[in-house]
Amino acid sequence: MIDVNGEIDRLSLMVSSLLIVTRLEEIELNMRPVDLYEEVDSIIKLFLPLADQYDIELINKCQKNVAVLMDEARFKEILINLVDNSIKYSREGGFVEISCIKREEIVELIVRDNGCGISEGDLHCVFDIFYRVDESRTRKTGGSGIGLYLVKKIVELHGWSIKVKSRLNEGTEFIINIKSGL
């Protein structure tokens, strides 16, 4: 029964994600200034129980008092997906670090971990819908291949850009370049 219940939860989450995917083009962004340090801090607090379960340290290295014009709810979806993946694919005793650095008209947001990493051959596909790096890991971590697709689409809706850097057995970095104009 526990396995069946877990599968129901997984399928329910996937259906919910698919509904969001189908409505992405229709979403009207509710843009307002949001303080990045505070937003990252709230996401870290949300993930502390999961991070503790895996003995992962969550680190907020964002500069304080950096506000960006964005849809706060959609931005939370970005961070939730990236932090959740980083925790799931980090090694026990590892870390997930989120940093925000203002550089002229751009704020660079980086979500970095020291987990298992992604092979060079898979990097170009990680944002494709339903793409999963390793089918065997999916069973353990519950991935559906929708999260990073959603992240990229939400980033693009804001007019931002995202890229990924990774090395096997060393970790992964997702870098989002955010237009900082208010």
CA–CA distance, 156 with 159 (Å, rounded to integer): 5
Q: What is the pTM of this model?
A: 0.84
Residue pLDDT, tens place only, 8-58: 766 676 666 666 666 666 778 899 999 999 999 999 999 999 999 999 999
The answer, yes or no, to whether residue 137 has pLDDT greater than 60, is no
The answer, yes or no, to whether residue 123 has pLDDT greater than 60, is yes
Determine the pLDDT at residue 5. 65
Q: In which residue are the tokens 């509710």 written? A: 30
Residue pLDDT, tens place only, 105-119: 899 999 999 999 988
47 CB-near residues (< 8 Å, 6+ apart): 58, 83, 84, 87
CATH number of 2-179: 3.30.565.10
Output the DSSP codes for 85-115.
HHHHTSPTT-EEEEEEEEETTEEEEEEEE-S
- Token pair, residue 26, equals 């229709």
